[in-house]
Each structure stands twice: as C-alpha cells, then as structure tokens.
Structure 1
Amino acid sequence: MTTLLLGDPSPSLRWRTAVELESATDDDDDVNAWKGEIGASPAVQWLLARLAVAAERPQTAGYLLCQLAYLGYCGPELAPAVDAIFAHQQPDGSWPLRLDGDNDQPVRKPRKEAPPGLAPSDSPRFITMQTVVPLRGIAAAGFATDPRAERAYEWLLRERLHDGSWPAGPKADLGGPGRPSLPEKDYRRLTRGDGCRSATTGAVACLALHPQRNRSDAARVGVDHLLARETRDESTLGWEVARLVGLEPAMGQITFYATFDLAFLLDLASRCGISADDRRIRDLTTWLETLRGPYGLWEHHAHPQLSRWLTFDLEASLRRLADGDWIGNEEPASFTPYKHGRRRY
C-alpha cells in the first residue's frame, strides 16, 4: 500500500508517507529531494499566492495555513501570515465577526430591524467559528504555543457549555432567568450534548494540534461528544481531506464543520490520545476496514484522484491510535437525523 503512495505525483504525499508511515529520516536522499520539491509544487504555489492577499481576512488565511501544513510546507511565508492573523485578535483572545469578503463568500445584508422584544444586548456576541478557524491555522503552522495563541485557547475554554461542548453563536452565559439560550439547530446538534457539533468539531481540531492541550480533559470530553454519533456515512468519508487538498471549497460560518466526516473524526480522536481499545473506535475501524480496496487503498466516491491522500490520512490516524492512553465509557446513543419538511411539489 505504501508503495502506491510513494509513487504518487505529489511530492507532499510522497514526503509525508515516507516520514509518517515509513519513519524515514532526513538522511534519506529521496526524503530530502521530495521535501525540496514541495515548495515549488503548483498546489503550494497557488496557496501561497492566495495567502499573500488574505492579510485582512483572518478566517481565510487561517484555513490556507491548514492547507499548507497538510501539504507539508513550512516556508518563511508562514510567520508573517500568522502575525497578520494576530493583528486582528481581540483583547480577550478571540477574533471578531467575519470581515467583509472573508471566507470568499458574499456578505449577507443585515436585517432592517430586530425581532420584537429582542434587546440589543441579547444578540449573539460571537460566533465560535470566527476564532476556531484562525486558531487551527495558527496551530497547524507550528505556533500553537505562542502566547497570543494561548490566549485564544483560554478564550475557547471559557466559552464551553456546562457539558464540555461548544455553542455555535450566542454566548454560553447569555441567557439568565427567563432568557434561556436558544437550542442548536437539529442538523448540527450533538447527539448527546447541548452544544453545536460543527463548533465542537472546530474546537477539538484546535486542541488536537496543541502539544499539551491535545491530551487535556477539554479535548477528551469534546471527542466523547463527537463519537456519540455512531452513524456510518460513507458518502462523506474524506470530506475534510478533499477541502485540505483543494478539491472541495472551504465554506461556511457556523456550518464550517457541519459535514460529518468519519475520517476527520478519527484523525482528531487519534491526535487527542484515544486508545484503539475504545469500543466506539474499535467499531469505527472495523467498519473502515470493510471499505478498504484490494490494493489496500480507500477509494473516494467523488474524487478518485483523492484515494491515495485519503488512504494516507486514515493510515496515519490508525497508527496514532497505538499511542492512545484513554478509553471513553459512554454508552451507545440513539441518533435520528433531523426531519425534512414535506415537499410542496
């Protein structure tokens, strides 16, 4: 299987396969050659060109850093880009609501008037994703322990709900007597929890890239919430990998991580130290093995050219499970997809 990955046209995939799956060292001539080719590859050059004009868009720049890190790039352009993202950071450690043109999406027109009975102080004070996306990019670029990043992590921990999950928008303590916070929408509500699955996924993705916080209780509880949904959606397997390599657009605000991708979930769980002996992980890996092709590859249903990247991603996650040191004790939870309204025609 690794022979097929090492023969891929992408120097990024060849280099990451050699280093992460074959334990190759810098003394290897091929490894050095592939590492040198990464910076000149068209995929990396395209991302660097976009990063150069994203200084005023921290969310866009944050995900571009995630993509560059996934391709194995660690050049000198990353540090100035991280500083540009930090330039928009607020004193409490978070980032402000989306700037005009951020995430490459059109800006919605504001509502002309607020709903009756809703005071200005009752409006959402933040969107969790506005901090999660830049912070994940900063951590992916290797700056997770920067004091400014640590301040963002502390903000993220302060905004957790009582059950350890994260809300999508309104501040967790916004309710008060007679003014409860609005429940999350059905399509992104956690199976067992009050928070938003998209926001919780993004928060765990940030914690997973921190060298110390990835084994914290906050990361573990977040992973437990995500693993509570035990559906097997083959059609969305590898969605995040497709976005990281540029085959799918990275879009959405609250819904940025709404797609339930089991490959991404396994990646986060393995980085946060879960053991392969966990019942949910054991069932998931058993199911994944039933999808492996005759040559050891996992085929991507929408992008056949992504199959080697998906295989690498899953193999790396499976090998990280060997270092896991904790097991969750959650019982299986029932899950019912949200109901669609009846079609009028």
Structure 2
Amino acid sequence: MADWLSQFNYSPIKPLFDSVNDAIIYFAKRDLLEEKIESIKYIWDLPEVQKIIKKQLDDGSWPSKAKKDITSGVKYPLIETWKQLRFLIQQYEMDNTHPAIQKAAEFIFSCQTDEGDIRGILANQYAPYYAGAIIYLLIKAGYEDDPRIEKGFEWLLKMRQDDGGWVIGSPGMIGLSNLTRSEMNDLTSNKDRRTARAFDKSKPFSAAGTGMVLRAFAVHPTYRKSGEALNAARLLKSKFFKKDNCTSYQHPDNWLRFQYPFWWTNLVSTLDTLSLMGFSKDDVDVKNGLNWLIDHQESDGLWKISYSKIHKTPDNKRTLKSRLWITLAICRIFKRFF
C-alpha cells in the first residue's frame, strides 16, 4: 500500500473511513487495504440499493419521468435503466447472479438492433458513445462472453472514424452539415425518421465520445488488448486538458468535472480506463494526469467534484457523498498504476 499512498500530500484513507458510509468503508477495506471482508451481498442488501431495485418494473426497466409524446422515438425507459444500472453495477457491484440485473440486462438487449447497437437514446439514430457506456456495465455484470456483447463490439468497431476514435452524437449524421438545429433535433427524437447514414469518417474523433466507448473495451479481457482499443486510448490521452474536437464539449475544463459512477468523459474516468488497459504510470500523458490529481487534492484528503470554471459545484454536505466516491475511484486508479 505504501507505494501508491505515498504519492499523495494528504492521506485519503482517514476521511473514507470517517465517512460513516457502509459501502465506502466496505470497498475501502477490500480494495485499498486488502482486508478480508464479508460477501458482496452485504452491499446488495443495503437500504440505498434496495430502494433502487424496488422501483424496477416487471419488464426489467426503470420508469422514466419524461412526458409521453406519441411522436417521440426516444426510449426513455432505456435511458433511465442505464442511469440506475450505473449505480447498481458500477457503484455497488451487482452482477447477473441477481434477478434484478438479469431482468435489466434482458431489457437492454431487447433494444439491440440486428446491426448490433443499443438503439433508442437518439431515437432511430446511432449513439456509439452511449452504446459503449451501456456495454461497459453489462460486461462488469458478467456478460463478457455473451454473443450479443460480441455483436456490440463488432458494431462499435465499424462506427469508428478514420483516425480510430469515435464521435459524440450519431456518426451517421456527420455528413448532414446543412441541417438546422431544429432539423437535427427532429432527427434524434422523431420516431418516424430513418437512421441517417451520411457518414464522414474523415472528421476527427471526439475525446468525449471516445472515452465513453473505451470503457467497454477496458473491462473486456480480450478487447482491452486489441490494437484498435490501444490506438483509440492513445488518441484519448493525447487530448488531456485540451479542447475536444466536438463543439458541445470543446472547452478544456470538461476534463475537470468528475462524476461517480462515471457518465461523461473526464480525467478520472479516462485514467480509470487507461489503468485497466495496462498503460504505465510512466507514460507521459498518464503521468501528467496523475500529477494533476496529486497537486489538486484538498487538505481534507478528498477531491472536489469540479475544478472547472464552466461547471462550478460548491463543496458542502450535499456533495460530500460524491466527493467520497470520487476519492475512492482515484485511490483505486493510483493503486493500479503503482
């Protein structure tokens, strides 16, 4: 433990154990101190986990609060199910030995097309960044050998740009540059719009999109070692603290807004991916990222939710729980690298 922990200016161990958060303490004991702990089912029985499970519907999805619109092709239950599985699978480490995860996985697979993608978040349009983030969770839940996952990977590889990365939005719409914003919105929401296939693979990758897709590759025992994944990872890390090629997430400060469980691509989520893919702490980009985290640790031993000038988030009692989970994620990253 000394090697990774000695990198920090302040020990993050004490605030994690002082948190009075059963899940945080459990994972800190297991992952950071390597102590023997009780079965993971202890976590699954926690009230906060059971509260999420109780809201699951019979078809395996979670209900959405979005207003119903008969013209909409957006599958809001798919979006809500992905949101809830982020907590159940990534945060609380539930897997397909539990009936709730089995049901949820089958609901998600019911949204898989013959092409291989998980479709519905952008209505009938492609969304490789969300598909990658969803496949990431399914693999963590134990579906890495499922042929439907293999089909998803094959589709993701077909959706790459010429440079080897992925974009935010639908790659099939990139060539539709003459459309107005309202027309673009209609394409990604109207159930009567066909899947656009106006590809322009010469456009550069988006770090925001590539980071979300690579999470799936990083947790797969075979695909994490593939040349395609390693090339995309090199592209991704080369953009640390730099403008994205995607206009929606172009500002460099998007690297400095953290969430756990992961959603958008940021410094912590990307270092997590790189650590799982076998990159070295001595890699120049990785070292820069790790040093940034070391230099920006707070004196209480934790990290803030956001260091971004464009995404300001106050540190208070309401955000303390998020800070604890982010700190746990950062400690896991350092432990892998060191």
How far apart, in 2, do the equivalents of 1:98 and 1:307 lie?
29
How far apart, in 2, do the equivalents of 1:297 and 1:20 lie?
17
How far apart, in 1, do the equivalents of 2:54 and 2:33 lie?
32
Map of 2:326 onto structure 1: 310
How far apart, in 2, do the equivalents of 1:217 and 1:51 lie?
39
* 2:283 counterpart letter in structure 1: D
Residue 22 of structure 1: how far off its partner (Å): 1.5
Instruction: Give the counterpart of 1:38 among 38, 43, 48.
Output: 43
- Residues 173-211 of structure 1, C-alpha deviation per residue, up to 9 Å, x if partnerless? 979xxx984699xxxxxxxx7123332122101111212
Query: What is the aligned-residue RMSD (CA, Å)?
Result: 3.1
Map of 2:19 onto structure 1: 8
* 1:67 counterpart letter in structure 2: F
Residue 170 of structure 1: how far off its partner (Å): 3.0
- Residues 207-232 of structure 1, C-alpha deviation per residue, up to 9 Å, x if partnerless? 11212212222222222222122318
* 1:154 counterpart letter in structure 2: E
How far apart, in 2, do the equivalents of 1:67 and 1:270 lie?
21
In structure 1, the residue corresponding to 2:172 is in which secondary structure? coil
- Residues 3-23 of structure 1, C-alpha deviation per residue, up to 9 Å, x if partnerless? 432343322212221221122
Q: Cα gap change, 1:225/1:305 in structure 2, threshold over 3 Å: closer, same or farther? A: same
Conserved? CA contact 1:12–1:72, under 8 Å: no
Map of 1:210 onto structure 2: 220
Stretch of structure 1 that moved more, 15-24 or 312-321:
15-24
- Residues 232-270 of structure 1, C-alpha deviation per residue, up to 9 Å, x if partnerless? 8678645221x55xxxxx6xxxxxx3xx52111111111
How far apart, in 2, do the equivalents of 1:228 and 1:180 lie?
28
Residue 67 of structure 1: how far off its partner (Å): 1.7
The unaligned stretches of length 5 or more in structure 2 are 1-11, 63-74, 177-196, 243-251, 307-312, 314-318
- Residues 280-332 of structure 1, C-alpha deviation per residue, up to 9 Å, x if partnerless? 1111211211112335332335323322212111111112124xxxxxxxxxx
How far apart, in 2, do the equivalents of 1:59 and 1:300 lie?
23
* Higher RCO, Cα 8 Å, sep 6+: 2
How far apart, in 2, do the equivalents of 1:99 and 1:286 lie?
37
Q: Cα gap change, 1:89/1:234 in structure 2, threshold over 3 Å: closer, same or farther? A: closer
Map of 1:77 onto structure 2: 100
* 2:328 counterpart letter in structure 1: F
Instruction: Give the counterpart of 2:33 among 17, 22, 33.
Output: 22
- Aligned length, in residue pairs: 268
Map of 1:281 onto structure 2: 286
How far apart, in 2, do the equivalents of 1:173 and 1:311 lie?
37
In structure 2, the residue corresponding to 1:32 is in which secondary structure? coil
Conserved? CA contact 1:16–1:72, under 8 Å: no
Conserved? CA contact 1:128–1:169, under 8 Å: yes
How far apart, in 2, do the equivalents of 1:18 and 1:97 lie?
39
Conserved? CA contact 2:240–2:285, under 8 Å: yes
In structure 2, the residue corresponding to 1:142 is in which secondary structure? helix
TM-score by length of 2: 0.69
Map of 1:68 onto structure 2: 88
